[in-house]
Chains A and B, each alone.
Chain A
Amino acid sequence: MSKTAIKFKLAILKNTPFILFVCIFIIFGILSPKFFQYENFENIATSASYIGIVTVGMTFVLLTAGIDLSVGSNMFLSASIAGLLIRDLNAPIWLALLCAVLVGTLYGGINAFFIVKLRILPFLVTLSTLVAGRGLGLLITKSQGVTLPESISNWGAVRVVGLPVPIIIYAVIALIAHLFLKFFPMGRQIYAIGNDPEAAKKAGLNTDRSIAFVYIISGLLAAIAGIVSVSQMGIVNAGFGDGDEFDAIAAAVLGGTSLFGGIGTIFPGAVIGTILIQMVQAGLVYTQVDMYIQPLIQAAVIFVAVFLDSIRSREISKIEKRHIRVEN
C-alpha cells in the first residue's frame, strides 16, 4: 500500500463513529424525505438532551474504568421527590428542583462512599443502588404516577435564542464537561487514573478523591436529566428512567469511550453517540418500521458500531506498529 493510501485508511478508521453517523443519517433521509426537515433535527436533539446529560456523567465514570448502573433509578427518585414536594407540600418549584438536584448528588455520594471507602466493585454497588433507589421511589410514590404542574411541563417547550431549553441545558453541560476534562488538572488526572490506577497513586495523585468525584457528578447529572425529562413529559410514573442507564452506556461506547477506562471524550464522543442513538430511534419512527422490530434494529446498530470499533482499533494498531523490515 502506498503512503497516501495508508494515510487515507487511517483517516477513515479514526473517524468511524462520525462516518457511521453520516451514513445512517443519509439512509434515513433517502427512505423518508421528511427526515431532512429542520423540525426533525430539533426533535432529535430535544429528545436526545436528557439521555445526553446522563451520558456526560456516565463518560466521567467510564473514564475511570468504573460504571454507574444506578442513574435511571436516580432520575426516578429525585424527580419523584420534586413532584411530591410540589404536589403534597406546595413547595415552591425552585425549592423542589433544588431538592431533586441535592438528592441526586447525595445518591452519587452514596455510590462513591461504597466504592471508595468500602472498596466494593462499582458494578455491584451501583447495581444495588439501582434496585434500592427504585424501591425507595416506588415506596414514597406508592407506585402511582406523580403529575407535575404545568409551569414545569411548559418550560420544556420554552425557547431561548430560538432553541428549546432542554437543548440549551444539554449544550451548556456538555461544554463545561468537555472543557473540564480537557483543561483542568483534575480532568487530565481522571484520564491518568483510568489508564493505570497504580501508577496514578505512585505519582502522588489523590485517586480516591477523583473517583468519588466522578460518581457524585454522575449522580448530579442524573438528577438534572430527570428534571429535563419531566419538563417534557409532565409526569413521573413508575417506569420513569427505567433502563436509561443502558442507553447512556451504549451512547458513550458508541462515541468511542472504552469500558476499560482512560479513553473517551465528551465532544465529539459522547455527543455523537447520544445523537446517533436518538437519530436511529427517530428514523425508525419516520420510516414507519413495526414498533416491535424497532428495538431489534437499534440493537443491531449498536452491535455493528461496537463491532466496527473493535476492528478499527485492531487495524489502527496494526498500521501504527513499528516495522522491523521495510519491504520493497
Chain B
Amino acid sequence: MSEYILQLKNISKYFFGVPALKNINLELRKGKMLGLIGENGAGKSTMMNIIGGVIKADEGSMVLKGEEYQPDGPGEATDAGITFIHQELNLFTNLSIEENIYISSFPTIGRLPVISKGAIRTKTRELLDSIDLKLSPDILVEKLSPGERQLVEIAKALSSKPDIIIFDEPTTSLTARETKKLFELINKLRDQGISMIYISHILDDVLNLVDDIVVLKDGEVTDKGAKQDFSIQRMVSSMVGRDLEQMYPERTSKPSNEVVLEVSNLSQSGTIHDVSFKLHKGEILGVFGLMGSGRTEMARIIFGLDPYESGEIAVDGKKITKSSPQNSIRNRIAFVTENRREEGLLMHSTILDNIQLVSLREYAKTILKIVDSKKVTESIKDVVKMLKVKSGPVEKTAPKSLSGGNQQKVVIGKWVMAKPKIFMVDEPTRGIDVGAKYEVYTILNQFASEGSGVLIISSEIEELIGVCDRILVMSKGEIVGEFSASEFDKERIVGSAFRQNVRC
C-alpha cells in the first residue's frame, strides 16, 4: 500500500465551459496534514466539493486507500470515511448536543424506530471525552459559545469514525484561546492516525499546523511541497502569482488635529465602562482587543444600535442627543459590522439594492421624493469600479454568489456612497484573501486621505500595526492602553490586552 491515503489525478472541472480546476494533482499522506491555501475563487471549494461528492469532476480520477473513488453524493463520501468541518457551522441550535451529533443516524432501540436515549447519551459522552469537551450531552446548542459549537462539529465528524477530516477555515469565529484548544485537538487527532486537509487564509496557522502545503491559483496547483521548504513569503507569492512586496499600502496622508468624533466616559452596564477617546480627521485609529473585550459593543453603541447609560458622544464638537442608526447616518457615520452575511448584506437582493440602501435619500431630491434611479445606478457603477468588485451586472447579481472579499467590498461600497466623515469597520478582513485585504486597506487609506476619521476594530494585531496611526487596546469593556505609531510593538500591545485577564 502506498504512503498516500488520497490521491487526485489530473482532476479538471468546467462550469459552463469555463475551467474551475485544471489538471489538479494532489496527494494526502497517511496520518499527515495537508494545508491548502489560495485566494478566494482559486478553486478550493470546487475541489473540496469534488472530494466530498457534492459535484463530479469532468476529467481525472481519485484514489482513496488504494482504490478508485467516485463518490455519488455526500452520503457516500461519509461512508468512505471522509468528513468535513465547514466554515459556517451546520448545527441545529434548537436541538441538544447529542441530537446534533446523531441527527442523521440515531441509534435506535432494537428494530423499533425509537431513539435509544441510553445509547445516544453514552456514545456522545465518549465522543465529548475524547475531545476533552466538558459539557453535558443534553445541553441545547444555542447555549454554547462559537468555540464550543466548533468542537461539537468535530465530535459530530468523529462519530462516523473518519479516516480523513477536511477543515475549511475552522477558526474564523473562535477566540484566541479556543483556537489554541482546537489546534491541540487537531494535533491529537493526527497522532491517532487521522489524515487531514486544512484550508485557511491565516498563513501562520497553516505553517504551524500542517506537514505539506499545496497552493492553488486560478484553478491550478502553482506550488506544493513539504512545510519546511515554505516561508510566508513563498506562500503569498505562489498564491498571488507575483511578489507582494508589502502586505499593507503606503499611507499618503497625515492625520489632522481636528477632532471628528469624541467619546467621553461612555458606560453601559454589562458591556463597556468609562470609555473615552478622540478620533481625528484623516486618522486611522485601531481598536485591538480579544473577542469579548467590548470592542464591537462599543462600536454598536456609538452607531446607535445599542443604548448607553452614561457618557457623551460628540460628532464635530456637537453632542449627540438622540442616538440611533438613522441619526448616525445623517451625521455621516458609517459602520461595517463584523458579520457581513447576517448584518451587512441582503444576500438575495442585487448588488445595486445593497449599495443604494443607505444613500437613497440623497437621490430623492424632488418634492415627491421619487428616487432618481438612473443617477443612483450611475453612481453605484462608479463605486463598484473604484472598489474593483468582481461580479456580474450589478442589477442582477446577488451578494450570495460573490466571494468573501467581493462581498465585503459591496458592504464597504454601501457606505462609500454615503460619503462618511466617520468610518467604523469591525473585522473588515476576516475570511478574505491577501489580495482583497490589500484592496480593503487601500480603501480605508483613501478615506483617511480625504479627511474622514477611520476606526478599525480587529483581532489581528499585525493588520492594525500595518495600517493604523494609533491603536487603542480594550479589555473587559475598558480602554486599557493607547499606543501611537512610534510605540507600536506587537508584544506590548497584545500583553496589555491580556493584562487584566491575568490579574483577575
Q: Which residues of A come within 8 Å of B, CB atoms? A: 183-186, 188-189, 191-192, 194-196, 198-200, 202-205, 262-263, 320, 322-325, 327
- Among the interface residues A204, A205, A320, A322, which one has the most CB atoms of the partner chain B within 10 A? A204
Shortest Cβ-Cβ A-B pairs, 10 listed: A199-B90, A185-B106, A195-B92, A192-B92, A325-B477, A262-B94, A204-B104, A195-B94, A323-B270, A203-B104
> Which residue of the partner chain A has the closest CB to B115?
A183
Closest Cβ of chain A to B266, distance in Å, is 13
Give bound CA distance, A320 to B270, whole Å.
12
Please, how many angstroms separate the alpha-carbon atoms of A194 and B103 in the complex? 13
- Tell me whether B408 is interfacial, beta carbon within 8 Å: no
Interface membership of B273, Cβ < 8 A: yes
> Does B305 interact with chain A (Cβ within 8 Å)?
no
Taking CB atoms, residues of chain B closer than 8 Å to A188 are 95, 99, 103, 106, 115
Measured between beta carbons, the chain B residues less than 8 angstroms from A191 are 92, 94-95
What's the least CB distance linking B500 to chain A, in Å? 11
With A191-B92, A192-B92 as known contacts, state yes or no: A325 contacts B103, CB within 8 Å. Answer: no
Contacts of B114 in A (CB 8 A): 183-184
Q: Which residue of A lies closest to B478 (CB)?
A: A325
19 examples of A-B residue contacts, CB within 8 angstroms: A188-B99, A189-B104, A191-B95, A192-B99, A195-B94, A195-B95, A199-B92, A200-B92, A200-B103, A203-B104, A262-B92, A262-B94, A324-B270, A324-B293, A325-B270, A325-B271, A325-B272, A325-B273, A327-B269
Question: Hey, what's the 0/1 contact readout for B253-279 against A, CB within 8 Å counting as 1?
Answer: 000000000000000011111000000
* Chain A residues in 8 Å Cβ range of B110: none
On whether the beta carbons of B95 and A324 are closer than 8 Å, the reply is no
Q: Which of B103, B115, B145, B294 contacts A192 (CB 8 A)?
A: B103
Query: Within the assembled complex, what's the spacing in Å between the Cα atoms of A184 and B270?
Result: 41
Q: A202-B90, A325-B269, A325-B271 are in contact. List 12 more A-B contacts (CB 8 A).
A: A184-B115, A185-B106, A185-B108, A192-B94, A192-B95, A192-B99, A263-B94, A322-B292, A323-B270, A324-B292, A325-B270, A325-B477
Interface residues of B in 453-504 (CB under 8 A from A): 476-477
Q: A186-B113, A188-B95, A192-B95 are in contact. Are A324 and B477 (CB under 8 A)?
A: yes
Cα distance, A205 to B92, chains bound together (Å): 13
Q: Considering the complex, give the chain A residue whose CB is closest to the CB of B99.
A: A188
B-side interface size class? 20 to 34
| Closest A residue to B504 using CB positions | A326
Which chain B residue has the least Cβ–Cβ distance from A202?
B90
Task: Find chain B residues with CB under 8 A from A192 CB.
Answer: 92, 94-95, 99, 103
Whether A324 touches B476, Cβ cut-off 8 Å, given contacts A183-B115, A188-B99, is: yes
Residues of B within 8 A of A (CB): 74-75, 78, 86, 90-95, 99, 103-104, 106, 108, 113-115, 117, 143, 145, 269-273, 292-294, 297, 476-477
Q: Across the two chains, which residue of chain B brings its CB closest to A258? A: B94
Chain A residues with CB under 8 A of B271: 323-325
Residue numbers in B under 8 Å from A205 (CB-CB) = 103-104
Q: Is the CB of B74 within 8 A of A204?
A: yes
Q: How far is the CB of A4 from chain B (nearest CB, A)?
A: 19
Complex CA–CA separation, A324 to B296 (angstroms): 11
A208 nearest CB across to chain B (Å): 14
Q: Could you tell me the distance in whole angstroms from the C-beta of B295 to the nearest C-beta in chain A?
A: 10
C-alpha gap A199/B74 in the complex (Å): 13
Given contacts A205-B104, A324-B294, A325-B477, contact A199 B115 (CB under 8 A): no
**Shortest Cβ distance from A321 into B: residue:** B270
Chain A residues whose C-beta falls within 8 Å of the C-beta of B104 in the assembled complex: 189, 203-205
Q: In the assembled complex, how far is the CB of residue B344 from the closest CB belonging to chain A, in whole angstroms?
A: 19
Residues of A within 8 A of B90 (CB): 196, 198-199, 202-203
Shortest B368–chain A CB gap in Å is 34
In angstroms, how far is the closest chain B Cβ from the Cβ of A255?
16
From B78, B90, B143, residue with most partner A Cβ within 10 Å: B90
Q: For the complex, what is the distance from the CA of A183 to the CA of B106, rounded to whole Å?
A: 10
Name the residue on B nearest A323 (C-beta).
B270
- Given A191-B95, A204-B78, decide whether A324 and B115 contact each other with a Cβ distance below 8 A: no
Residue numbers in A under 8 Å from B99 (CB-CB): 188, 192
A184 nearest CB neighbor, chain B only: B113
B156: shortest Cβ distance to chain A, in Å? 9
Hey, which chain A residues are within 8 Å of B74, CB to CB? 202, 204
- Determine the chain B residues whose CB is within 8 A of the CB of A189 once the complex forms: 103-104
Contacts of B292 in A (CB 8 A): 322, 324
Q: Given the complex, which residues of A lie within 8 Å of B94, measured CB to CB?
A: 191-192, 194-195, 262-263
